[in-house]
Amino acid sequence: MTPVEIGVIGIIALFALLAIRVPAGIAMIVVAAIGNSMLSSAGPALLKMGSDLIRTTQSQTLSVVPLFVLMGIFLAKADLGVHLFDLLNYFVGRRKGGMATATIGAGILFGSVSGSCIAASTTLASACAPEMRRHNYEEGFSVGICAVGACVGMVIPPSSALVVYGFLTEESIGQVLMGGIIPGLLTGSLLMLTVPIVVRLRPNMAPKATLEKTPFPWKTLKAVWGIPVIFLAVFGGIYLGWATTTEAGAIGAFSSMVFALLMRKLSLKVFINTLTEAAKVSAMVFFMIMGGNVFGVFLQRSLIPMALTEFVATLDVAPVFMILFFLLVYTVLGLFMDEMATLIIMTPIAYPIAISLGYNGIWFGVMSIMMLLTGTVSPPVGIVTMVSSAVSKVSSTKVFASQWPFWLTLIVSCIIIASFPGISMLIPSMMYS
């Protein structure tokens, strides 16, 4: 067999293993081991793969991942998601649909600092959705809002997905992270603007506006001061070039620990549980990165990226259609797979073609994450929506039926960001200047 044929068989085998629920990291390592052995003698191939795995774990670039994970868990232990919801609900909660708007805002902010859309959606579905239902919001609508708000945090730093994308493509991780800020805020704003439209067209989704005044939540305000302080300390340092991404991650982890201590939420038991949870999450991410790295090497040795690039060059179609095809693949895979696994599998295939077609790598990374987050809430099996449905014990059919207007908003946001690449490149282009 030719190297390309072996590569194609390897890709098919990978998705077959994923279909029978083999963990993504293990599936990629197994396929890479067998594929590399078929491309050359088994001994040298396996020896080279072993050294690649070790070298991946020793990469200083990836040290930012456990730091960002630790930062997010510290803030989650401080009940930040609930406090954000309470604060935002004071300002907009009395309007019709206001509590839904507050939930989206809290989901975006909490999803960004937690680094995981599934973790954020789980928190919101267990904390905010019951509160909305208590105020007579339709149950599917309340859960769907939690899922949509949480997934937007995937593109706003500190996004572990963007860090991994930067590592896999060797793009500047600092610039990739900064590239997600404006698209994430734009998407979140459009989602919040969608709420009043939905409740106007479908009044049964939300209760009537209330004129009842509530006291200002000073206690809650004291509990969310850490967000702007930590965000500016971490990403201001990256933007100005005063700190590397690893140093910024260390600042974020330490300052979030101090924040949790000041909020009196960090007992010794909670501290130990936080470290344990961060270690488990980081190990899972690293395992997928290791698998993705050796799988990417296998693809390069099989000449799949080169063959695809040459094939695309022979097609008589505009480059934008090829990029659109890959982005749709991201969305479809996001229906069934964890966002990190999808990103790690697809990036070695799609990134070289995007670059060969003249597209900016940072913009393509942001668009990849945007399409992934759209897939995670797409009917009928979007993984984040399904998790939120399971946590809140509300039928997924009801959730998807109430959620589709916000799914359309995500699509509109993706079209805007794709049509105007400057939205993603504005902050990265000004860095270090």
Nearest-angstrom CA–CA distance, 137 and 95: 13
Q: At what angle do helices 139-152 and 361-376 cross, to 10 degrees?
A: 160
Cβ–Cβ under 8 Å, residues 197 and 375: no
Structure tokens at 36: 């590399």
Q: Which helix (H) or strand (E) holds 337?
A: none
Q: Which residue in 423, 413, 342, 373 sits closest to 179, CA to CA? A: 423
Cβ–Cβ under 8 Å, residues 401 and 198: no
Residue-averaged pLDDT of the chain? 81
Nearest-angstrom CA–CA distance, 158 and 68: 6
Structure tokens at 371: 């399409």
| pLDDT-based confidence at residue 293 (cuts at 50, 70, 90) | confident
Q: Please give the pLDDT value at position 115.
A: 59
Lowest mean pLDDT among 7-21, 122-136, 139-153: 122-136
| Residue the block writes with tokens 């900016």 | 360
| pLDDT-based confidence at residue 363 (cuts at 50, 70, 90) | very high
| Residue the block writes with tokens 């949790």 | 260
Query: Which amino acid does the sequence have at 107?
Result: G
Query: Which amino acid does the sequence have at 175?
Result: Q
Cβ–Cβ under 8 Å, residues 40 and 68: no
| pLDDT-based confidence at residue 211 (cuts at 50, 70, 90) | low
Q: Please state the rounded mean pLDDT for residues 159-183.
A: 87
pLDDT of residue 190 exceeding 90, the answer is yes
SS3 of 116-174: CHHHHHHHHHHHHHHHHHHCCCCHHHHHHHHHHHHHHHHHCCCCHHHHHHHHHHCCCHH
Nearest-angstrom CA–CA distance, 426 and 175: 10
Does residue 358 sit in helix, strand or coil?
coil
Taking only the tens place, the pLDDT of each residue in 95-138 is 777 888 888 887 777 776 665 676 677 777 777 778 778 878 88
- For 179, residues 6+ apart whose C-beta sits below 8 A from its C-beta are 162, 362, 363, 365, 366, 424, 425, 427, 428
- For 302, residues 6+ apart whose C-beta sits below 8 A from its C-beta are 3, 4, 6, 7, 10, 35, 39
| pLDDT-based confidence at residue 409 (cuts at 50, 70, 90) | very high
Sorted by where each begins, the domain ranges of the chain are 62-430
Q: Please state the rounded mean pLDDT for residues 322-331.
A: 81
Which range has the top average pLDDT, 83-97, 108-122, 250-264?
A: 250-264
| Residue the block writes with tokens 């989206």 | 104
Q: How are the residues of the chain apportioned to helix, strand and coil, as percentages rounded to the nearest 5?
A: 80, 0, 20
Lowest mean pLDDT among 38-47, 60-69, 212-221, 230-239: 212-221
Lowest mean pLDDT among 89-93, 239-243, 274-278, 393-397: 89-93
Nearest-angstrom CA–CA distance, 59 and 68: 16
Nearest-angstrom CA–CA distance, 278 and 381: 28
Which of the pair, 389 or 171, is modelled with greater confidence?
Answer: 171
Q: Please state the rounded mean pLDDT for residues 329-349.
A: 78
- For 148, residues 6+ apart whose C-beta sits below 8 A from its C-beta are 104, 107, 191, 377, 403, 406, 407, 410
Lowest mean pLDDT among 49-53, 66-70, 300-304: 49-53
Cβ–Cβ under 8 Å, residues 383 and 376: yes
Q: Please state the rounded mean pLDDT for residues 33-51.
A: 80
Q: Please state the rounded mean pLDDT for residues 317-334.
A: 79
Which of the pair, 247 or 117, is modelled with greater confidence?
Answer: 247
Structure tokens at 248: 């910024």
Nearest-angstrom CA–CA distance, 233 and 223: 18
User: Of all residues in the chain, what percent carry a pLDDT higher than 90?
Assistant: 4
| pLDDT-based confidence at residue 186 (cuts at 50, 70, 90) | very high
This prediction's pTM? 0.81
DSSP 1: -
| pLDDT-based confidence at residue 194 (cuts at 50, 70, 90) | very high
Cβ–Cβ under 8 Å, residues 393 and 132: no
Q: Please give the pLDDT value at position 18.
A: 81
Which of the pair, 85 or 272, is modelled with greater confidence?
Answer: 272
Which of the pair, 193 or 78, is modelled with greater confidence?
Answer: 193
